[in-house]
Amino acid sequence: QKEVEQNSGPLSVPEGAIASLNCTYSDRGSQSFFWYRQYSGKSPELIMSIYSNGDKEDGRFTAQLNKASQYVSLLIRDSQPSDSATYLCAVSLSSASKIIFGSGTRLSIRP
Amino acid sequence: DAGVTQSPTHLIKTRGQQVTLRCSPISGHKSVSWYQQVLGQGPQFIFQYYEKEERGRGNFPDRFSARQFPNYSSELNVNALLLGDSALYLCASSSPGVSTDTQYFGPGTRLTVL
């Protein structure tokens, strides 16, 4: 089992709709969770960090964390073509000083 | 404030050569991490340094080494390059005091091994 798993996509969503991106992780003791956006040929850019169960909202983005289910998600409301990118889920391990990334979900917003 | 900077931007080497990549963290950040990202995959953790000491190491061979300097900048060295080392090498810095806090990435160094 991979430490951090994401559906690779591509996920195609119409402009203005809600995009839902999901991530599961295997380390039950993980405490810190991150979502990054990566445009083709560029480096990852932090969107959200979340540490507690529940929802965390920042503008059009909402991160959701459920530690019991070992599940973290990212919702993007009012999707725009500029949101088309690969979204990386990252989890810090409880047993070591490192952050593990999923392989990313490719999101495409169609006009 | 300047973000994380990396040099060079692009690099072409041949098999068997050695390469050194450089990174300067965000001002005030004391932790630097290195990642390797191959096409279609997420970044893979290589090293983390905090206050000039190695705090974490990923599953990479001993050909990969790194160090952090008193000014918190860092170098990643890769010896005896293989074709499979071709990748985007990312450096990330994080806030002082917590070794696995939010990480901010530099633009990366694209390494091509021929």
B48, B55, B105 ranked by CB distance to A43: nearest: B105
Residue B84 predicted with pLDDT over 70: yes
**Segment B38-42 mean pLDDT:** 93
Q: Would an 8 Å CB–CB cutoff place B5 in contact with chain A? A: no
pLDDT score at A99: 86
The Cα of A9 is separated from the nearest Cα of chain B by a number of Å equal to 11
For residue A24, give every residue at least 6 positions away whose Cβ sits within 8 Å of its Cβ, in sequence order, or none: A4, A5, A69, A70, A71, A72
Q: Verify whether the Cβ–Cβ distance B90 to A43 is below 8 Å.
A: yes
A49, A92, A101 ranked by CB distance to B42: nearest: A101
pLDDT score at A44: 96
In this prediction, residue B66 has a pLDDT band, given cuts at 50, 70 and 90, of very high
Residue B68 predicted with pLDDT over 80: yes
Q: Provide DSSP, A15-81.
A: TTS-EEEEEEES-TT---EEEEEE-TTS--EEEEEE-SSEEEEETTEEEEEETTTTEEEEEESS--G
Q: Verify whether the Cβ–Cβ distance B102 to A92 is below 8 Å.
A: no
The answer to whether B4 and B26 are in contact (CB under 8 A) is: yes
A43, A98, A104 ranked by CB distance to B45: nearest: A98
* B24-38 residue pLDDT tens: 999 988 889 999 999
User: Which residues of chain B neighbour A44 with C-beta distances below 8 Å?
Assistant: 43, 90, 105
User: Rounded distance, CA B23 to CA B76, Å?
Assistant: 8
pLDDT score at A85: 97
pLDDT along chain A (111 residues), means of 10: 88 97 93 94 93 94 96 97 97 78 96 90
pLDDT score at B85: 98
